[in-house]
Structure 1
C-alpha cells in the first residue's frame, strides 16, 4: 500500500511541476495588436507556393493576414522557419533539421527551389506590417530555440506572440 501512495505522490508532484512551468506570468501583456486578424497558418501557401516559404509569407502580408509560423535551430545554430522536425514531408529528404547545418539544409530546397528561410529573413520581410504568432519547436532543445527566437524578436518592431507545446520553452520566455 505504501508503494501505491508513493507513486501517487510522485504523480501529483510531477503534475504540479508541469503546471508551474507552463503557468502564465502575473502580468498579462496587451494583446490587442494580435486580435481582429485572420492568420495564414505557415503563410499563404498553395499551388506552387510552399508552406513556410518567403513567397508564402509575402503573399500573406500582401493579403493582409497575420502569420503563424514555427521556428527551430539547425545544428550550427541558425534559426529557421519550418514546421516538421525533418525535411521528409516537404523537401523529400529524411533528415532532421537539428542534425544538419544551414548549408546542408539549403541543399534540400523547398518545392519552389528556395531554401527553408531564416527567421531573421522572415522578420525583415514582414517588417511589422502584420502580427506574428511564433511557435517555438522543441526539436534540438526547447530552451536553445526559445533563446534564439527571443534574441531575434527583441530587435523586431512588429506585434508578435510566442507559443510552444514544450513547457521548458514557455518557462524560458516567462523568465526572460
Structure 2
C-alpha cells in the first residue's frame, strides 16, 4: 500500500472550490484556481471525449452544465472545450489544463466516470497524462471495470474505490474490489459506519475520505469514522475555528 498521508492532510474541495454554481461553477478552472489559492486539495470528475481525450465534467449528459443537448462521448475534446459552463466565461476543461494549472501546488483526487460502451481507453488516456505528472495525485472510480485497469495503466498512482451503501450486497461488492490493489476509499458520509469502511480503516490502515460534506453534522460524522472530507458549500477552515 502506498504512503498517503498527503491525501488526508487538507480538506478536499468537491469539484473545486465553487459556490454551488451561483457565480463559480463546479469543475471549472476558476473553481480549481480558488482551491489552489486556499490550499485545498481538489476533487474532479473525468470523462472521455469522442476522440479519446480526458475532459473534466461530472455529468455524461451536457444539459445541466452547458444547456446543450447530447452526451460527452459524442463530442471531441475541442467541441467540449468550446462549451461554456452555466452562463459563465468558463469552459469545459481538459484534464491537461487542470494539470498545467495546478502543477503540484495541491493534491488532486481524480474520479474516472465510466459510460458503458463508450469509455474504452479512458484509464489508458488518463494514465498517459498522470504518469508524467510531478504533483501528488490519486485516482478513483465507482466503476469496477475501470478500477480493474488502474494497475495496468497507472501502477504507481494511488487508486481508490468511490462507494456508498450499507446493504449486504453492496458491502460484499466493495470487499471484492480489495483484490485489485486499492489504496484508499471515498465513501458516502451518510452510509457511515459500515463493515467495509471499518475493516479497511482499522484492519488494513487504509485512508478513508468522505463525500459530499455540506454541514457540521456531516463534518462530525466524517471525523468519527473517516480521515478527511470532500466538501462543498462552506469554508472548512472557518468551521473548524
TM above 0.5, yes or no, is yes
Structure 1: 5+ residue stretches without partners: 1-27
Tell me which residue corresponds to 1:25.
none
Q: Secondary structure at the match of 1:121?
A: helix
Kept in 2, the 8 Å contact 1:40–1:60? The answer is yes
CA distance in 2, matches of 1:142, 1:77: 9
Shift of 1:79: 1.1
Q: CA RMSD in A?
A: 1.4
Return the alpha-carbon distance in structure 1 between the equivalents of residues 152 and 89 of structure 2. 39
Count residues in correspondence.
Answer: 149
TM-score, normalising length: structure 2: 0.59
Q: How does 1:118-157 map to 2 (within 5 A)?
A: 118-139=94-115, 141-157=118-134
Structure with greater helix percent: 1
Aligned mates of 1:151, 1:72 — CA distance in 2: 15
4+ long deviations beyond 2 Å: 102-108, 139-143
| Aligned counterparts, 1:4-153, within 5 A | 28-46=1-19, 47-111=22-86, 112-139=88-115, 141-153=118-130
Deviations 1:113-146 (A, max 9, x none): 2220010010010111111111011026445111
| Structure 1 counterpart of 2:185 | none
Which deviates more, 104-113 or 118-127?
104-113
Asked if residue 174 in structure 1 is aligned to residue 151 in structure 2, the reply is yes
CA distance in 2, matches of 1:102, 1:175: 24
Mark the structure with the bigger radius of gyration: 1
Structure 2 unaligned regions, length at least 5 = 154-241
Shift of 1:155: 0.9
CA offsets 1:28-63 (integer angstroms, 9 cap, x no match)? 111112122101000001231111000000000001
Q: 1:108 to 1:138 in 2, by over 3 A?
A: same
